[in-house]
Amino acid sequence: MPIWKTPNISTHTKIRIFRSNVLSVLLYGAECWKMTNSLEQRLEVFQNKCLRRILKIFWPNFISNEDPRGRTWLEPLNTIIRERRWRWLGHVCRRPPESLIKRALRWTPQG
């Protein structure tokens, strides 16, 4: 039986599993992604689908997408990715000037 449908696990535990395991794997390396509208939409659809399954909200019930996120205290994925990008950029800016990462950030190709 899938973990989101298991009645033996509480909703709170399922949300903690979603945050720790699913989001960490889903957003691995997201700091370097080129975020397009279609990619952002696909990520939001996946998050909404998982949250609706965890909260047992099925298709006949018309509920906005903000409601499951509000009930689980989760932020939208584009906000999480933006925060991760700022954190990564701060890490890069604190590196020494001769660092390969810092040189790659300031590199401009010819042409």
Under a CB-based contact definition with an 8 Å cutoff, are residues 109 and 103 in contact?
A: no
| 70-100 per-position pLDDT tens digit | 899 999 999 999 999 999 999 999 999 889 9
**Residues 65, 75: Cα–Cα separation, whole Å:** 12
Phi-psi label, residue 56: left if phi above 0, alpha if psi -120 to 50, beta otherwise: left
At 64, is the pLDDT very low, low, confident or very high (cuts 50, 70, 90)?
confident
- The pTM (predicted TM-score) of the whole model is 0.82
- Delimit the domains of the chain by residue range: 3-106
The contacts of residue 76 (CB under 8 Å, 6+ apart) are 44, 47, 69
pLDDT at residue 1 is higher than 60: no
